[in-house]
Amino acid sequence: MPRKTPIDLVRAIVPRGIPHAGALGCELVSVEKGRAVVRLPWREEFVGNPETRAPSGGVITTLIDTAAGMAAMAALDEMVPIATLDLRIEYLKPAAEGRTIEAAAECHKVTRTIAFVRAWAYQDGRDDPVATASGTFMLDSSDAVLRPPPKKRP
């Protein structure tokens, strides 16, 4: 059986591997080396402002974080656990009520320990985003890596 690539594993992750994104209904649209597109179909529960009926910023944050994390994973040569270190989101305009939102993300640099990603959330195409983002992801965020080394006994 051929060994699975990070891209193969990313395809298998949504929705089961990221329970929060799965609960919201995130769907993987596409993934390729260092890139991912994730779709979030509209649900009434997403309304964050009853007056404008715009979706909550938290929903858009989750969508962007999911797409950005997948782009980071898809940029790797070997799959390792990752964790969001920093995600800066600029909300440019409210998303429209009742419409699907997509997020596209591109990993533009990978170092030994960090992946750097840009992302866009949009309804009418990437050229008219509702939000843009830049983020960093720690590579190999497994528990063993994060634990301090044991102290030597005298």
pTM score of the predicted model: 0.86
Alpha-carbon Rg for the chain, nearest whole angstrom, is 17
Of 67, 50, 52, nearest in space to 103 by CA: 67
Give the position of tokens 């715009």.
Answer: 54
Q: Which domain does 23 fall in, by range? A: 6-146
Q: Does 65 reside within a domain?
A: yes
Instruction: Retrieve residue 105's tokens.
Output: 């993300």
Q: Does 16 reside within a domain?
A: yes
Question: What pLDDT score was predicted for residue 15?
Answer: 57
Question: What pLDDT score was predicted for residue 75?
Answer: 96
Q: Does 154 reside within a domain?
A: no
Averages of pLDDT over runs of 10 residues in the chain (154 residues) are 76 74 90 96 90 91 96 92 96 94 98 97 95 96 57 67
Q: Does 132 reside within a domain?
A: yes
Q: Does 119 reside within a domain?
A: yes
Q: Does 73 reside within a domain?
A: yes
In one-letter notation, the amino acid at residue 3 is R
Question: What pLDDT score was predicted for residue 9?
Answer: 79
Please count the structural domains in the chain: 1
In one-letter notation, the amino acid at residue 141 is S
Output the domain CATH number for residue 115. 3.10.129.10
Phi, psi of 147 (to 5 degrees): -70, 140
Question: What pLDDT score was predicted for residue 43?
Answer: 92
Of 82, 75, 64, nearest in space to 17 by CA: 82
Q: Does 151 reside within a domain?
A: no
